[in-house]
Amino acid sequence: MTAAPPPSTGRELSSPPTDGISNLRFSNHSDHLLVSSWDKSVRLYDASANALRGEFMHGGAVLDCCFHDDSSGFSACADHTVRRLVFNYNREDILGRHDGPVRCVEYSYATGQVITGSWDKTLKCWDPRSSSGQDRSLVGTYAQPERVYSMSLVGNRLVVATAGRHVNVYDLRNMSQPEQRRESSLKYQTRCVRCYPNGTGYALSSVEGRVAMEFFDLSEAGQSKKYAFKCHRKSEAGRDLVYPVNAIAFHPIYGTFATGGCDGYVNVWDGNNKKRLYQYTKYPTSIAALSFSRDGRLLAVASSYTYEEGEKSHEPDAIFVRSVNEVEVKPKPKLLPNTAT
């Protein structure tokens, strides 16, 4: 007898977090998946085997996580700490602290540093290779105009999005001041920022159902390419219902990208041709986070209510891993006019 095909939402991982999922990320080396949650945990899964490989508990909600290598990573916690988590030895240590909840963490393969952003309105860089003790591992502290909401890295570039719609672009080799100070093109609060894999710019989403496509090149020609588009909306009884866009994830091969919204939908977009390529079947609740695997064959989806409508009964938090079909993510060739006579 043939096995039943996985549901259209993808395969649901067993042993999910017991509270809201703040982020999930695939490893750059395997199908390992790192997941942070408001239940104070960071979990490591083998997404292909549907197996929980390890778990660390924290002193507060964990707001972000990232990999260091295939079996270790870093976490950003609401208890103001930045932690290093080594799953194969079940060992953890505190890399350092902020003066407020730590919202974002990134590891730079280019510089070997950990970068954290906090609601204390600072960015901090840490060297995880130095001997333990946060005074020794702290490389620098950089004031931000407001609370840090989202960060993204590509090569030596770091994009930091804060409250108040500020966007700072840094060169990691010279953090003394931002390379560019910008304001979001969108009128409403920023939810997510993600750099293009080719390093030419970034996509930024807002709470008001829009995504802006931005470019680092400040020349007139470079800036003429920027645009914004509406998404994650629906009309009901003549009214427009508009949903926050919580997540953006770029496909590592094709450079197309997925967005996830509080409407429970995941859409895939071809940014170059300004087209939607695909919309997946609706998920049980809000999409809190998205990540493509290193080869783009898998997409991890966090279906997790993000409290945009306050406290209410909602579907349980869940992680779905779906196999990605090329037709869903590959840009369609532009049709050229037939010039044959």
pLDDT of residue 7: 62
Stretch 162-175: mean pLDDT: 97
Stretch 64-74: mean pLDDT: 97
pLDDT at 76 over 80: yes
3 vs 225 pLDDT, higher one: 225
pLDDT at 241 over 70: yes
3-state secondary structure of 154: strand
pLDDT of residue 334: 72
Q: Tell me phi and psi for residue 142, to 5 degrees.
A: -130, 120
pLDDT of residue 324: 97
The per-residue pLDDT of the chain, averaged, comes to: 94
pLDDT at 14 over 90: yes
**8 — pLDDT class (breaks 50, 70, 90):** confident
Q: DSSP letters of 7-72?
A: PTT-EEPSS--SS-EEEEEE-SSSSEEEEEETTSEEEEEETTTTEEEEEEE-SS-EEEEEEEETTE
40 contacts: CB under 8 Å, gap ≥ 6: 57, 58, 59, 60, 61, 62
**5 — pLDDT class (breaks 50, 70, 90):** low
pLDDT at 17 over 50: yes
pLDDT at 134 over 90: no
Decide: pTM greater than 0.85.
yes
Q: What percent of the chain has pLDDT over 90?
A: 87
Q: What is the pLDDT of residues 242-292, one digit of tens each?
A: 999 999 999 999 999 999 999 999 999 999 999 999 999 999 999 999 999
Q: How far is CA 88 from CA 53, 69, 91, 130, in A?
A: 9, 11, 8, 21
3-state secondary structure of 328: helix
3-state secondary structure of 135: helix
pLDDT of residue 270: 97
Stretch 324-338: mean pLDDT: 83
Stretch 68-93: mean pLDDT: 96
**131 — pLDDT class (breaks 50, 70, 90):** low
| Buried residues in 135-168 as b, exposed as e (16+ CB within 10 A) | eebbeeebebbebbbbbbbbeebbbbbbeebbbb
Q: DSSP letters of 210-244?
A: EEEEEES--SHHHHTT-EEEE-SEEEETTEEEE--
**341 — pLDDT class (breaks 50, 70, 90):** very low
Amino acid at the residue 51: A
**209 — pLDDT class (breaks 50, 70, 90):** very high
pLDDT at 95 over 80: yes
Stretch 103-120: mean pLDDT: 97
Q: Tell me phi and psi for residue 74, to 5 degrees.
A: -130, 150
The edge-to-edge listing of strands for the beta sheet with 298-303 is 11-12, 318-323, 298-303, 287-292
Q: What percent of the chain has pLDDT over 70?
A: 94
Stretch 90-110: mean pLDDT: 97
**308 — pLDDT class (breaks 50, 70, 90):** confident
